[in-house]
Amino acid sequence: MDNKLVDSELKVMSVLWNEGDCPARYIATVLTNKYGWNINTTYTLIKRCIKKGAIERSEPNFMCHALIPKEEVQKAETNELINKIYDGCAEKLFASLLGRKKLSAKQIERLKHIVDKWE
């Protein structure tokens, strides 16, 4: 993918990641119902995603296919957040997340398990 996706483009991608391949009209309907967007807005965003290499269009019915997996975007966005806000230090992000809310014993155990897998 050539360019970073902006929030509105991520909303378009989210429909594809959740629903799989679908026509542009269906994406427009979902986003109209969820955010009140008009159909032209959604089609413009789909075309921008196509130009950026995030979506592939095929016929018939202007079918859309996500070319990038959600996990790839999540990783890139997380890395950008860590670099921009936490001085490139993942530990600072982790500490910030943990400090925001009291965790249950079960949640703490799950986090320990995740950390253990990385060691």
The count of C-alpha atoms lying within 13 angstroms of the C-alpha of 27, restricted to the half-sphere facing its C-beta, is: 33
DSSP-assigned letter for residue 3:
S
CATH number reported for the structural domain that contains residue 47 in this entry? 1.10.10.10
Query: For 44-67, what is each residue's pLDDT tens digit?
Result: 999 999 999 999 999 999 999 999
- What is the pLDDT at residue 1? 54
Asked if residue 41 has pLDDT above 70, the reply is yes
The domain of 85 spans 70-118
State if pTM tops 0.85.
no
**Is residue 76 located within the same domain as residue 60?**
no
In a domain, 49, yes or no: yes
Q: What is the mean pLDDT of residues 37-45?
A: 96
Q: How many domains does the chain have?
A: 2
**Is residue 16 located within the same domain as residue 44?**
yes
In a domain, 20, yes or no: yes
**Is residue 47 located within the same domain as residue 78?**
no
